[in-house]
Chain A
Amino acid sequence: MSQPVVAPRWQDPFAILAILTTAKTIAIVGLSPNELRASHFVGFYLRRHGYRIVPVNPREKAILGETSYPTIGEVPFPIDVVDVFRQPDAVPEIAREAVRAGAKALWCQYNVISPEGGDIAERAGLRVVMDRCMKVEHARHLGRMHWLGFNTGNVTARRGGP
C-alpha cells in the first residue's frame, strides 16, 4: 500500500493555520448528505465553528441546510477554500476549477493525494494542504481536540484558548 509522498510544504503548520484563521467560505467537493460519512462530520464541524459551507455535489439539492452546486464553477459567490473529498484522480480538474473560481487555497483530505493537482493549484498562487483533515487541523490548533487525549503536537506555556 504505497502512496505518493506528500511534499512537506503541503502539510506545513504555518500554511494550515493561515488558511484556518483567514478563510470564511469553504466549498466542500464531495460533501455527503449521509451524516455518518467523514465529509459530513467535517462540514458539520466547520459550519459549527463559523465557516460558511458550500456543498459541491451534483447529486444533491441541499446539504447541511446549504444549497448544493454541481461544480465549483457554478457557485455564484467567492470561495476562499476548496476542500476535496474525492478520489485522487479527480483532483487535477478540481484544482483547475479552484484556480478559475479565484479560491485562495486547495485542501485535500486524508488519502486524497495528487501531486499533479497540488502543482496546478500552487502554480496559480493557491496555498495547498494535502492528506490532512480540515476538521482535525482546526481542532488541533484552534479547537478542543486536546479534550479527547489526542496528541495535538501543541506545546506552549501561553494561556490557552477555548
Chain B
Amino acid sequence: MREKPAREFGFDTRAIHAGQRPEPYTGARAVPIFQTTSYVFEDPDSAAAYFNLQEYGNTYTRIMNPTTAVFEERVASLEGAAGGVAFASGLAAQAAAFFTMLVPGDHVVSSAALYGGSITQLKHLQRKLGFEVTFVDPDDLDQWRAALRPNTKVLFGETIGNPGGNVLDIEAVAAIAHERGAPLMIDSTFATPYLCRPMEWGADIVTHSATKFIGGHGTSIGGIATESGNFNWSNGRFPVVADPSPAYHGLAFHETFGVYGYLMKLRAESLRDLGGALSPFNAFLFLLGLETLPLRMAKHVENALAVARWLETQPGVTRVRYPGLDSSPYRELAKKYLPRGAGAIFSFDLPGGRDAGRRFIEALTIWSHLANVGDAKSLVIHPASTTHRQLSDEELTAAGISAGTIRLSVGLESAPDLLADLEAGLRAVSAKTEARA
C-alpha cells in the first residue's frame, strides 16, 4: 500500500510534483513527452470500455495525452480544482468552457474590462451561437445584479482586468451568480494560482492562457479550463450539461460522473468536437514553466511594484493603474485577493495620446514591443493601436483605457535597467513636446 501524507503538500511542492508519478516503465524523472497521436489498445474490450467512458484509457491525443494530463492535473492541483482540460490556446479553453454550458437563447453577464480578444470572442459567439451577453462595469456590484435575467447561465470576469487593472470582487460576484443558480467563471491568467485562487472565493470555473506566466518564457500558445466540481449542474437550469447526451447513447454526464461531470463533458464532447487540443510538446514546456512559477511570480511582482512606484513619481506620466499601489482604487481588493502581489501587468497613461505612445515605444531598447504578456522578458505595447484596435472609442473607455495608454508586462530583468529604459522613453516624449512648444 502506498503511504499517504498526513497533511497537504505546499504550493511550491505541488508546482513541481503534482500530476506526475515518475514514469513506471523507464523511471524517467522528467515528464516524458508522449508525442503520439494514438495508443495501442490492450484488447477490443478495453478499447470499447475507453470509448464508452467506462474506463480511464488513452484513445486519441485530440482528447487526451499523458504529457498533457500531467499539465492538466498540476494546474488543477494549484487552483484547488477537481480537474482541468487543456486546450491549444487560452481563448480555445474559454470558448469550450462556454460551449459546454450554453445553448441558443441563454444569457451571459460579463465584465466589460476584459482582454480585448475575450470581448471580441464573446461578441462573435453571441452573434453566431445565438446567446446574449450583457457587459457590465466589473467594479459595480449593482450592475452585475441588475444585469441578471431568468435565462442568465454564467457570470464571467477576470481576476485582474486587462489593461485597466480592475481587481474583481470575486466573493461578492460569486454570491450574485449562485443566487441565480449560475456559475462564476474567471479568467485568472494575470494572477496565476500563485497570486490568487478564485475557487477559494467561490468561483466555479477558472481558465488560463498558459501562454503567459504559466509557460513564462514566451515559447508556446496554450490554455486550460479548470472546474471546482462544486457547482450543481443538475439544478434544473443546465439541461445541456445534466440531460442525457445523444453523443454518448443517452449518458447523463452530471448524474453519472458527479463532481467530474462537467469536466468529462468538456473533454469528451467539447474538446473532442471543437478539436482545439494542446500539443504534448507545449504541455511539456508549460510543465517546465510551472516548476518555477512561485519563484518567477515573486520576482515579477517585486519588479512590477518597483516600476509602478517609479512611474508614479514621473512628471510625464498622468496615471499608473497598478492595483498594488496605495493610490489604486483597487488597493483594498488587491490586499484581499492578491496578498502576495498584484500581478506584473499594468498600464499607465501618457498625456500626449497616440503620438506620444508611439514615440515612447520607439525609444525603448530593453522592453520588447510585442503583443503578449507574462514573459520572463519585459514587454510593452500600445493597446489602442494593437490588442484593443478592434474596439470603438466607447469600448476603449469601458475597458478603462485611453489613446495614450501604455501597457507593461514587467519581466525578470534587473529593475534598474528597466527603469533606465523607461526613463529614456519618457525623455523622448517630453523632448518632442518641448520642441513643439
> Which residues of A are in contact with B by a Cβ distance under 8 Å?
1, 13-14, 17-18, 21, 35-38, 41, 44-45, 48, 110, 133, 136, 139, 141, 143-162
Contact = CB atoms under 8 A, between A and B. Distances in A.
Q: How large is the interface on B (under 10, 10 to 19, 20 to 34, 35 or more residues)?
A: 35 or more
A146 B17 CA distance: 13
Interface stretch (B67-75, B297-305, B322-330): B67-75
Nearest 4 A-B pairs (CB), nearest first?
A149-B72, A160-B21, A150-B83, A151-B76
B252 interface: yes
A159 B256 contact: no
B373 to A, nearest CB: 25
A158 B72 CA distance: 20
B82 interface: yes
A139 B49 CA distance: 14
Contacts of A38: 255-258
B77 A36 contact: no
Nearest to B229: A151
B21 A154 contact: yes
Interface centre among B5, B21, B249 (most CB of A within 10 A): B21
A44 B77 CA distance: 28
Interface centre among A35, A147, A156 (most CB of B within 10 A): A147
A1 B85 CA distance: 28
Given A36-B250, A41-B54, A156-B21, A149 B85 contact: yes
Interface string B27-48: 1000000000000000000000
A161 B76 contact: no
Interface in B258-289: 258-260, 263-264, 267
B232 interface: yes
A140 to B, nearest CB: 10
A19 to B, nearest CB: 11
Contacts of B58: 147
Contact of B1 (A18, A35, A147): A18
A72 B259 CA distance: 29
